[in-house]
């Protein structure tokens, strides 16, 4: 691909980068709900409780229709697209909301939507849309968009055996979508709690206190076949790319909260007889966070728009890689600046800053680390490593 080709690609694909009125309304509705039901004090308290996820809030998000945005209406979903989903993910990030949204409404749903012509997938989508089921996608959380997919799970006589770790949002899931090796080819299987013996879930104590990760240990667990062969791999690949793009939106939410919270603190904290936000050294640091956040937001919106409206898979992969790489690092940057500029208070358990730092850093490591996204991007735009 030449320089002209690269430039031409971007010309022929102008992304829509501003929100519609419907999306503004969606944003406000989700924000209101989270303000009422996920204040940071309760999010922090929940991290040390027996129910790390807020089932009530998950149900309310379902009532609002946002957990089924990716599911077409004919399957009972809200029939939105990735742009709408990104609006929700940003708000969930801004509240570090303790719900299995990424695992269920993004990853597992995206995989099932990709194979919705299969009757089993269609049936499961209906149950996800109605809120009857909450799902997880059994792939390692560190899966990278565009990388060759592999699995250690073997299918034999409709039973699955193997270990997948670390898996996002297994806690509370009653449906697990599993990529397995079935007579030499890839296959997607569904393991459902109400039908079968549910496989063993080994929780992992996570850096991110607000998102659960666990190991899935399958030992000849009965499972339902969804689809075999290339469509199975394509479905998981789609889910990973979708997940990376939605994570970018979430990271924008994390960065925005970190910026807003730190700016507010710099205005109210007095030392040397003046608000510390009047010191240029600190103002410049906040201005850099704001500047980078503007770029991150545009990149995240572009990635969601590409998923919703772009046909060329390489162009989708390119825009998602840009967003994932840039938003990951921006969220970590914003959260780390927040910790430093809060001084001692930012190091305490009682202040929510650490929830956001943990989320930002963990988000950076999952669904492709920034350097992995850039390595993938280098292939896509013909800038090969030496």
Which is nearer to another protein, 115 or 246 (by Cβ)?
246
Q: How big is the site for another protein, counted in residues (CB under 8 A)?
A: 54
Q: Which of 59, 131, 140, 275 binds another protein (CB under 8 A)?
A: 275
383 binds another protein (CB under 8 A): yes
Q: Which of 163, 201, 298, 365 binds another protein (CB under 8 A)?
A: 298
Which is nearer to another protein, 44 or 367 (by Cβ)?
367
Q: Which of 40, 196, 198, 290 binds another protein (CB under 8 A)?
A: 290
Q: Which two tokens stand for residue 217?
A: 């240990």
288 binds another protein (CB under 8 A): yes
- As measured in angstroms, the least distance from the Cβ of 298 to another protein is 4
Which is nearer to another protein, 6 or 201 (by Cβ)?
6
163 binds another protein (CB under 8 A): no
309 to 348: interface string for another protein, x by CB under 8 A: ------------xxx-xx----------------------
Secondary structure string (H, E, C) spanning the chain: CCHHHHHHHHHHCCCCCCCCHHHHHHHHHHHHHHHHHCCHHHHHHHCCCCCCCCHHHHHHHHHHCHHHCCCCHHHCCCCCCHHHHHHHHHHHHHCCCCCCHHHHHHHHHHHHHHCCCCHHHHHHHHHHHHCCCCEEEECCCCCCCCCCCCCCCEEECCEEEEEEEEEECCCCCCEEEEEEEECCEEEEEEEECCCCCCCEEEEECCCCCCCCEEEEEEEEEECEEEEECHHHHHHHHHHHHHHHHHHHHHHHHHHHHHHHHHHHHHHHCEECCEEHHHCHHHHHHHHHHHHHHHHHHHHHHHHHHHHHHCCCHHHHHHHHHHHHHHHHHHHHHHHHHHHHHCHHHHHCCCCCHHHHHHHHHHHHHCCCCHHHHHHHHHHHCCCCCC
286 binds another protein (CB under 8 A): yes
Give Cα separations from 286 to 300, 336, 338 (angstroms). Answer: 21, 12, 9
25 binds another protein (CB under 8 A): no
Q: Which of 117, 271, 280, 311 binds another protein (CB under 8 A)?
A: 280
271 binds another protein (CB under 8 A): no
- As measured in angstroms, the least distance from the Cβ of 293 to another protein is 9
- As measured in angstroms, the least distance from the Cβ of 36 to another protein is 26
277 binds another protein (CB under 8 A): yes
Cα–Cα dist 85/24, whole Å: 12
Which 250-269 residues touch another protein, going by CB under 8 A? 263, 266-267
For β-strands 175-182 and 185-192, DSSP reports them as: antiparallel
Which is nearer to another protein, 156 or 288 (by Cβ)?
288
Candidate ranges 1-9, 61-69, 127-135, 239-247; the one touching another protein (CB under 8 A): 1-9
371 binds another protein (CB under 8 A): yes
Candidate ranges 64-72, 127-135, 235-243, 296-304; the one touching another protein (CB under 8 A): 296-304
Cβ(324)–Cβ(368) below 8 Å: yes
Which is nearer to another protein, 125 or 293 (by Cβ)?
293
Candidate ranges 92-100, 144-152, 227-235, 288-296; the one touching another protein (CB under 8 A): 288-296
* Neighbouring-strand partners of residue 136: 176
Binding site for another protein (CB under 8 A): 2-3, 6-12, 14-18, 263, 266-267, 274-275, 277-280, 283-284, 286-288, 290-291, 294-299, 301-302, 321-323, 325-326, 371, 374-375, 377-378, 381-386
């Amino acid at each position: 691909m030449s320089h002209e080709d690269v430039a031409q690609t971007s010309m022929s694909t102008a992304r829509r980068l501003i929100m519609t009125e419907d999306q503004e309304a969606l944003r406000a509705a989700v924000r209101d709900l989270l303000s009422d039901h996920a204040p940071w004090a309760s999010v922090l308290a929940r991290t040390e409780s027996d129910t790390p996820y807020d089932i009530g809030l998950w149900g309310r998000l379902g009532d609002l229709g946002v957990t089924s945005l990716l599911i077409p209406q004919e399957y009972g979903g809200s029939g939105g697209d990735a742009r709408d989903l990104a609006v929700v993910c940003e708000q969930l990030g801004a509240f570090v909301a303790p719900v299995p949204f990424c695992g269920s409404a993004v990853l597992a749903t995206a995989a099932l939507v990709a194979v919705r012509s299969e009757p089993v997938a269609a049936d499961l989508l209906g149950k996800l849309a109605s809120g009857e089921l909450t799902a997880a996608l059994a792939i390692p959380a560190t899966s990278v968009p565009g990388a060759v997919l592999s699995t250690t799970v073997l299918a034999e006589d409709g039973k699955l055996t193997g270990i997948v770790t670390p898996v996002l949002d297994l806690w509370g899931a009653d449906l697990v979508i599993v990529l397995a090796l079935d007579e030499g080819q890839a296959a997607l299987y569904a393991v459902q709690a109400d039908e079968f013996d549910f496989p063993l879930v080994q929780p992992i104590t996570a850096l991110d206190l607000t998102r659960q990760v666990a190991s899935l240990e399958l030992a000849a667990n009965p499972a339902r076949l969804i689809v075999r062969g290339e469509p199975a791999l394509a479905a998981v690949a789609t889910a990973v790319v979708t997940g990376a793009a939605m994570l970018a939106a979430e990271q924008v939410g994390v960065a925005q909260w970190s910026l807003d919270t730190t700016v507010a603190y710099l205005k109210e904290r007095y030392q040397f007889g003046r608000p510390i936000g009047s010191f240029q050294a600190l103002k410049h640091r906040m201005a850099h966070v704001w500047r980078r956040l503007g770029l991150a937001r545009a990149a995240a919106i572009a990635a969601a728009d590409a998923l919703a409206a772009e046909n060329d898979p390489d162009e989708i992969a390119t825009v998602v890689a840009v967003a994932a790489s840039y938003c990951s690092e921006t969220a970590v940057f914003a959260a780390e600046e927040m910790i430093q500029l809060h001084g001692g208070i930012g190091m305490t358990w009682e202040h929510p800053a650490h929830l956001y730092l943990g989320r930002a850093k963990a988000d950076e490591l999952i669904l492709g680390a920034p350097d992995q996204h850039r390595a993938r991007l280098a292939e896509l735009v013909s800038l090969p490593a030496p």
